[in-house]
Structure 1
Amino acid sequence: MSCGHLVPTVWSVRMAKLEILVLVAVAVFLETVSLGVVTTEGGRVQGENFSVGYRRYVDRFRGIPFAAPPKRFEKPQRHPGWDGTLKATAFARRCLQLNLLQIDTMGDEDCLYLNIWVPHGTTVSTNLPVMVWIYGGAFLLGGSMGANFLDIYLYDGQELADRGNVIVVTLGYRVGSLGFLSTGDSSMPGNYGLWDQQAAIAWVYRNIRAFGGNPSNITVFGESAGGASVSFQTLTPHNKGMIRRAISQSGVALCPWAVNRNPREYAEQVARKVNCPTDSRMAACLKMADPKALTLAGSIDIISSPDKPIVNNLVLAATIDGDFLPDEPQNLFHNAAAIDYIAGANDMDGHLFIALDVPSINSQLVDTDPNDVKRVLAAFTKEKGSIGATKAYSTYTSHWGSNPSRETIKKTVVAIGTDYTFLIPTQTALYLHAEAATTGRTYSYLFSEPNRMGGLLSPYPSWMGADHTDDLQFVFGKPFSTPLGYWDSHRNLSGYMIAYWTNFAKTGDPNSGGLSVPVTWPRFNSNTHQFLELNHDTNSKSVGNQQRLTYVQFWTRDLQSLPTVASE
């Protein structure tokens, strides 16, 4: 054969090799890094896989049952399992609950499901830290996916998982009457929603290794009633050895709305609404009542005033049942001695609630009557009578001078609501945790990013700080996933919070874990009382100490030293 005939053949071989290389390169580029089908204790599950950047992927599993459909007013039981492969591709329905107007219900009794986000790089992840989210909603409402708008879910764990390189889990739990109604005795002890949360944590502990997680490194975190729930989960003896770390945002077990010490009274009110007797037959009748009627009967009184603050109407809450909570929360911190703990509040956390009691604080035109300040304080210190109210008023107006401005008075009302409802209980929990801690570390923060709605043409005043729930969007990375709604400064703050939160989940130290932070966050202890102020401008000047110490001492020491009175 002549050389002329060899040229096309060599060329063809080279082209074939080139095509193979191109195909291999394309295959590698298109190759998905995924867990695929995962085997859990209940059966096989298959989620969805997303490319979230160059050589970065996230597996998402939605709607995995962690317990059987719950029986009315009973603890959750393990799920019996399923045949075949469960397609975990859609959020389960919320637990049965009131709608916002309290005139109808939504959701389902079959609601004990969880969702999982697992990040991957060039290989499938293993041994990742796990962050388990517990949603808030006053123990009355909420869902594992959070509020949604145009299929954008508040508690979408993708950004947090991907940027922090942690597994994120969100869970559902019973709320309202079905989750927290209690007769105050063994016939219907309550805390069913807390038991649901505990069952989900236990499921994660038993199963998360199959998803690439480390069961020895579980962080529970939550906000508002979810933050209080996190606190309860660290204090109960039923989670011993399962929780390594915890983060309470705007809510702890010591909040005045977190525990109902007279649940029987409210249970009888609900019973009468659903035509049940209020004697020894009450529990049996309630268990047979229509679930929607029970839920509607568990509404709260939304008509409030300075004399009857709405926060005091949140009567569906945890109970001291001798089981989940064997004692008052302040006596259970020894159970959290080995748990690393972050807790904090927003600087105007109480605004959302106190504005319902004193609407004038949001008005640019209407003055707030100083007498309203007296009335609110009297309501919050009622058990100490007129002496308590007088001392409270003196404490909160000591900076007023002889002619306080309109803004000063309005801010004082917000400060009172914030202190009583969130900040002082959180500070108290930090002190108790630090005091009881053995290996557990303690960190305190104040979130102070101004509310994005504050201003002349908004329903909020221009001086507005961080309202209740304002922190959630930043923890879940919304400035990154929905960038058109935010400024670069918001992305900076979101990056800071994701770094601190996920570093903490990895190591127990928010400063160390692979993501850089703007300033070292010092540990909290009973000597220095140090905390970090979180906003878009967090820097070396953001570390403070003795946060609102005058008011902490008033509520926890001075007020408590006064004699308790029944009424006046």
Structure 2
Amino acid sequence: MFTGFFVILLCKDYLATNVSTFFLSHCTEGGKVEGKSKSLGSGRSMDIFLGIPFADAPGTFEKPRPHRGWDGILQATDYKPRCLQLNLVMTDTIGSTDCLYLNIWVPHGSSVSAGLPVMVWIYGGGFLVGGSMGANFLDNYLYSGQEIADRGNVIVVTVGYRVGTLGFLSSGDSGLPGNYGLWDQQAAIAWVHRNIRSFGGDPGNITIFGESAGGASVSFQTLTPHNKGIIRRAISQSGVALCPWGINKNPRKFAEEVAQKVNCPTDNRMAACLKMADPGALTLAGTISLSGSPDNPIVFNLILSPVIDGDFLPEDPSHLFHNAAEIDYIAGVNDMDGHIFTALDVPSINSDLISTPIDDVRRLLGAYTKEKGTVGLNNAYSTYTSNWGSNPSQETIKKTIVGVGTDYIFLVPTQAALYLHADHATTGRTYSYLFSEPNRMGGLITPYPSWMGADHADDLQYVFGKPFTTPLGYWPSHRRVSGAMISYWTNFAKTGDPNNGGSSVPVNWPTFTRSAPKFLEIHSDMDNNYVQQKMRMPYVNFWTRILPSLPTVVSE
């Protein structure tokens, strides 16, 4: 239960000696703010602010604008709607165009906090969907920052940003340059930098973290020149700027399809017409196909994504890592991240009763290596079947397909980003991980076979402490891995070293370098054997060295 209210009323610091005094710190740049204070017992409490605007309601296909501010006291006690987006079955829209808000959790002990590290969360959802509060079960929101803030003694901020057509449609030129969702994120990070001291945070120690499209967004935010000096550290979970779905290199084609659906011309009048179109109609026009096959993998349908616009991203992300030279960086993936996609491309992998033909492996690899033709396919197939033997089991075939998808969509690009970060780093440190805690539904219900590892997004519940928030739904082993992840993440936010920061960890996590590409496998039963190196090196080598060296026979 919430036990009290407090107001940020004073425009100069007032540090109370006891948290029962609810008047703290500064006004924000927009005005005064009232939030909620929650007692956590043992002399600790949590100040929670929900729905603070960091920018004005954005114009259609325009960069975010500063908020005009407000008179009186803003009631920051409820989440705001997520940004306008498609519903899960893509038949209607949910959310609002007025959606650029953020939420803040501030922990306190016996005295009011000051100078705390700040962790800013960027949600995932394929750049199509998502919200700063996340999924909700009995008022338990997935992205509640309370457990991280309390256990790690850090401030947690979650931010909203535009997704789908309104966030990422681009004509490929100055008429509709795109990347509006990335500009929203950048505006939120800049707002935190300017205002977080009023909430007890250290503006010089901001860590951004995110998962999937949020992980890629974190990567983009470290690479753009527009965040120079603002971000101190960053964590990318299951997504980096180099992922094959991270950049749309031919955005014009889809922009013209959207234009036709909303009765706009596709000539030089297109951008002006689209800016005048109904936001709901534009959002509905941005539907993508969720049906895949081994020959046409679903990942290729994720085309509402960032673009190289010459501004936020001046050039290809692989050439921008010098901008992250002073940023400490953690990046990693789940060991079966690709399952969520390959199960749509090859549904038989989820069934013990239905055989998966060996040819499906060839077909999927053929699609991923299409531009290199038969030579590329043959090289890929020999790489992935080298340890099969003469009569591979069905489990081997199915797991190979998941491995192919995991490598291509997530793991190899993440490793490539880690190498580039380490190569360009000056003061920035680099850390690599593989999350392998098995999916909790493995072997119990479809679509989770008995051999399942960690599927895409399985890490979220542990990072946000759900085994502690809803203990009846988890085993002690789940609380161990959740506690460890929160300790690593918040230690890193404090010091740039996941091993040091006041929270004990089960295993020392070494840095990643090109000469010693070490990584930590994160699991509930970690010991020193979980520190390894050269993650899936034969496959990383294939995708980053062997395949690119082959002649291109089909242009993208």
Distance in 2 separating the partners of 1:39 and 1:29 = 19
Matched residue of 1:47: which SS?
Answer: strand
2:540 alignment partner AA? V
Distance in 1 separating the partners of 2:218 and 2:148 = 19
Report what 1:524 is aligned to: 512
Matched residue of 1:247: which SS?
Answer: strand
1:384 corresponds to which of 360, 372, 383:
372
1:251 corresponds to which of 239, 242, 245:
239
Say if 2:102 and 2:158, in contact at 8 Å, map to a contact too: yes
Say if 1:32 and 1:57, in contact at 8 Å, map to a contact too: no
Report what 1:464 is aligned to: 452
Distance in 2 separating the partners of 1:114 and 1:431 = 33
Report what 1:81 is aligned to: 69
Report what 1:12 is aligned to: none
Say if 2:19 and 2:108, in contact at 8 Å, map to a contact too: no
1:495 corresponds to which of 470, 483, 506:
483
Specify whether residues 452 and 84 from structure 1 end up closer, same or farther in structure 2 by C-alpha distance, changes over 3 A only: same
Matched residue of 2:548: which SS?
Answer: coil
State yes or no: 1:427 paired with 2:419.
Answer: no
1:281 alignment partner AA? R
Q: How does 1:523-562 map to 2 (within 5 A)?
A: 523-562=511-550
Specify whether residues 35 and 325 from structure 1 end up closer, same or farther in structure 2 by C-alpha distance, changes over 3 A only: farther
Distance in 2 separating the partners of 1:280 and 1:75 = 21
Distance in 1 separating the partners of 2:87 and 2:525 = 37
State yes or no: 1:70 paired with 2:58.
Answer: yes
Shift of 1:150: 1.5
Distance in 1 separating the partners of 2:426 and 2:325 = 5
Specify whether residues 313 and 34 from structure 1 end up closer, same or farther in structure 2 by C-alpha distance, changes over 3 A only: same
Distance in 1 separating the partners of 2:386 and 2:22 = 61
| CA deviation map 1:431-482 (0-9, x unaligned) | 0000000000000000000000001544310000000000000000000011
State yes or no: 1:436 paired with 2:413.
Answer: no
Shift of 1:303: 1.8
- Identify which range, 511-520 or 458-467, moves more after superposition: 458-467
Shift of 1:238: 0.0
Distance in 2 separating the partners of 1:31 and 1:240 = 35
Could you list the runs of 5+ residues in structure 1 that have no partner in the other structure? Answer: 1-27
Distance in 1 separating the partners of 2:305 and 2:187 = 18
State yes or no: 1:482 paired with 2:470.
Answer: yes
Specify whether residues 314 and 543 from structure 1 end up closer, same or farther in structure 2 by C-alpha distance, changes over 3 A only: same
Say if 2:19 and 2:111, in contact at 8 Å, map to a contact too: no
Say if 2:351 and 2:446, in contact at 8 Å, map to a contact too: no
1:170 alignment partner AA? T
1:195 corresponds to which of 183, 194, 207:
183
- Identify which range, 385-394 or 235-244, moves more after superposition: 385-394
1:315 corresponds to which of 299, 303, 309:
303
| CA deviation map 1:124-162 (0-9, x unaligned) | 000000000000000000000001111110000000000
Matched residue of 2:29: which SS?
Answer: coil
Distance in 2 separating the partners of 1:37 and 1:153 = 27
Distance in 1 separating the partners of 2:357 and 2:25 = 63
Shift of 1:386: 1.3
Q: How does 1:45-124 map to 2 (within 5 A)?
A: 45-124=33-112
Distance in 1 separating the partners of 2:243 and 2:444 = 33
2:210 alignment partner AA? G
**RMSD (CA atoms):** 1.4
Specify whether residues 35 and 364 from structure 1 end up closer, same or farther in structure 2 by C-alpha distance, changes over 3 A only: farther
Distance in 1 separating the partners of 2:242 and 2:445 = 37
Say if 2:17 and 2:110, in contact at 8 Å, map to a contact too: no
Distance in 1 separating the partners of 2:59 and 2:293 = 38
Distance in 2 separating the partners of 1:155 and 1:42 = 25
Distance in 1 separating the partners of 2:346 and 2:148 = 37
Matched residue of 1:443: which SS?
Answer: strand
Report what 1:358 is aligned to: 346
1:396 corresponds to which of 380, 384, 401:
384
1:151 corresponds to which of 121, 139, 159:
139
Specify whether residues 567 and 171 from structure 1 end up closer, same or farther in structure 2 by C-alpha distance, changes over 3 A only: closer
Report what 1:405 is aligned to: 393
What is the aligned length? 541
Shift of 1:301: 1.0
Matched residue of 1:39: which SS?
Answer: coil
Distance in 2 separating the partners of 1:567 and 1:214 = 48
Shift of 1:31: 6.0
1:282 alignment partner AA? M
Identity of aligned residues (%): 72
Shift of 1:38: 4.7
Say if 1:441 and 1:523, in contact at 8 Å, map to a contact too: yes
Distance in 2 separating the partners of 1:305 and 1:551 = 22
> Based on CA coordinates, which of the two structures has the bigger radius of gyration?
1
Distance in 2 separating the partners of 1:406 and 1:199 = 49
2:458 alignment partner AA? D
Q: How does 1:320-339 map to 2 (within 5 A)?
A: 320-339=308-327
Distance in 2 separating the partners of 1:312 and 1:199 = 29
Shift of 1:36: 4.7
Report what 2:5 is aligned to: none
Report what 2:153 is aligned to: 165
Shift of 1:566: 2.1
1:412 alignment partner AA? T
| CA deviation map 1:62-112 (0-9, x unaligned) | 000000100110110110100000000000100000000000000000000
Report what 1:276 is aligned to: 264
Report what 1:415 is aligned to: 403
Report what 2:13 is aligned to: none
2:207 corresponds to which of 206, 209, 219:
219
Matched residue of 1:516: which SS?
Answer: coil
Distance in 2 separating the partners of 1:459 and 1:265 = 34
Report what 2:7 is aligned to: none
Distance in 2 separating the partners of 1:51 and 1:277 = 57
Report what 1:372 is aligned to: 360
1:126 corresponds to which of 95, 111, 114:
114
Could you list the runs of 5+ residues in structure 2 that have no partner in the other structure? Answer: 1-15
Q: TM-score under structure 2 normalisation?
A: 0.96
1:225 alignment partner AA? A
Report what 2:498 is aligned to: 510
Distance in 2 separating the partners of 1:499 and 1:101 = 37
Q: TM-score under structure 1 normalisation?
A: 0.94
Specify whether residues 565 and 167 from structure 1 end up closer, same or farther in structure 2 by C-alpha distance, changes over 3 A only: same
Say if 1:35 and 1:59, in contact at 8 Å, map to a contact too: no
Shift of 1:337: 0.2
Distance in 2 separating the partners of 1:498 and 1:266 = 40
2:192 alignment partner AA? V
Distance in 2 separating the partners of 1:125 and 1:440 = 27
Shift of 1:32: 2.2
Say if 1:385 and 1:567, in contact at 8 Å, map to a contact too: no
Say if 2:350 and 2:446, in contact at 8 Å, map to a contact too: no
Specify whether residues 145 and 457 from structure 1 end up closer, same or farther in structure 2 by C-alpha distance, changes over 3 A only: closer
